[in-house]
Chains A and B, each alone.
Chain A
Amino acid sequence: MATEEKAQSHKPPRNVHSPQEWLRQNLFNTWYNVILSLLSIGFILFISKGILTWAFTEAKWSVIPANLQLILIGSYPRDQIWRIWTVIYLLSVLLGMSAGIWHGIVRRFAIILACVWLICAIIPFQLATRGLFLGIVVSIAISYLIASNKISWHRWIVIGWLLSFPMTMIVLRGFGENAVLTSNWGGLLLTLILAIVGICASFPLGVFLALCRQSKLPAIRWISTTYIETIRGVPLITILFMGSVLIPIFMPEMNIDQVVRMMIGITFFSAAYMAENVRGGLQAIPRGQTEAAHALGLNYPKTMLFIVLPQALRSVIPAIVGQFISLFKDTSLVSIIGLIDLLGVAKSITANREWLGLQAEVYLFAAVIYFVFSYSMSYVSTEVEASLGVGNT
């Protein structure tokens, strides 16, 4: 009888709490928690009251819409903006198709992004602009439907993503008379380009350096270690200055674009940190994994590619994304070198006589933009981690 009773499967007990109960259990359960809670609530009210009063009564927000284009794209020629739209449309189509093929997080990401564009379309910009925003949403949806469940296309989509990068650069810059020189790239556009290039280039370079640091050959190990430790011992800004000042002095014949030099500096800097993060993951992989792979006849590159790296990278996703986020924010240092990125634009607006004294509004807006992007990366990383959770111990 007892066994019969046991065999019945019970649902786990659910802990359902009313809001009052939750408050009591979490904030007011002991006398010192009551004091702490009351103090914190008072502090939060005090701060937010100050900020909200300022934001709704004193702040002159008109500076933002008046300079929105400047903030977003800097001095990018206004008659060439179609280039940026083209890039956005191309990437949206790619994203829509990827969502159709892979579902999961990609689809969720596409939906969120489409919602953001939809909100943009509601904001009262010029009618043409709103139409273009709406067009993005539509093109994401259509490409999603077209590619839906066409699993066999996935190879083409991957190639598409790989090509999207040089394509973006070419479309944004263009050739001949109408070419938009990188010195005209600015604002959020420049920040994003620097960050994306930095992330896409420093990641593989970092993995490569981490593998080299574990190499059996002392020379390779030594070179990699020296590189990593040197870079980590130097602030990014000095590397950017070197890129900006020293390269033209030492290599005057090589006429490298200023923006490209910053990209290289950021990439080399970030790769060293990336390498250390990846190395942490590599060291956590038990030796039995490589041995089992070798025993199957997988050579070194295949063992790394199929066995070691997937496990190592998965375990250091939080650290890697943290590195991506700090890279994204560190791009703001190029404004010291004289590039007009998001922060540079903010600086130049507040220096404009027309908008004098509006630092708080402009910098707060810039901060919100940085935050939105950084937080999105952080959010995506948690999602990716969760979706890879199965089978990972």
Chain B
Amino acid sequence: MEFTLSEERRMLAETAARYLRERYPLELRHANAARAEGFSPAQWREMAELGLVAALLPPEAGGLGGAGADIALVFEHLGRALVVEPFLATGVLGATPLWRLGGPEAGALLESAAAGATLLALAHGEPEGRYAPAHVATTAREGAAGWRLAGRKAVVLNGDAAARLVVSARVSGALTDEDGLALFLVEAGAPGLTRRGYGTVEGGRAAEITLEDCPAAPLGAPGTAFPVIEEVLARACLALSAEVLGLAETAKGITLEHMRTRKQFGRPIGQFQALQHRMVEMVLEIEQLRSAVMLAAARLGAPRRERERAVSAAKNLAGRVGRLVAEECIQIHGGIGMTWEHALPHYAKRLVMIDHLFGDSDHHLARFRDLGMAG
């Protein structure tokens, strides 16, 4: 058993913490989020140069880490600073299929992605699919001129700005079959690709995507992509759970400070036991989440069932704890916790909205139960 960080990870953590502390104040975060791309390409590149994107990928994919502990560490720090740059879309959702399935372009693309030069996105979820991991109606057909995709993809994170999209499509089987799925690489300028970009509630960007007879290059052998899709989602859920941990830590810190300084009835509101106990509840739940994130990070390389159970446990807790912390911190702040000008509500929004990505707490609860019974 070993709970201390390795030397490399300790340095990575320090690098991330220092950069975010010195170069990523909340006003800048808001300004980055308000740009057309939804982030700052310059800062994205700086963070990539520090190795924060490469840390999400293993050496064989041109990275410097790639283990669960690396993902958890990076995303916890991103959460602490409420970073909007496309770490998840590029470093996890887009890069993992390229690493796992290769293809002629994969090496160069991964290198460029890790350097912050090429933006990737995963177009997998569909308008009717909710959180079902194998729900894919988009079709792929091979013709004389190569593969062509047709279908619609929903809430594609950073899908509006991505230079390359990894798109899931079905070559055979029924709507929710795990067999018959394939992943493809689609160029941003491909004919037949339409993207409608928009902002999201917590300040990110996403896109609705329509594919009409859109040319695409297969990643791996079409029809067998589901295990990779599942692994991509597992890595994303770990990343998001760790992000919730970081967000919750900062929200807790801001709220503690408020409890110490805000005075009503002649004393700091932190002296009211009703509020003290609620803060303690939050601390307890955040510790539960921290442990669940550690477990999921440790099990990321384990056999499928073990990995998936640990990841669903973490994402379920992240959903529950995220909502609790968001709601309680706003409440303890009172009116000021409802204002755009204050930092806290922006953390609260991200804490809550992460539950809407890649399975909410109910989805992962059911999944955890189902995985347990199967074994």
A and B form one complex:
no
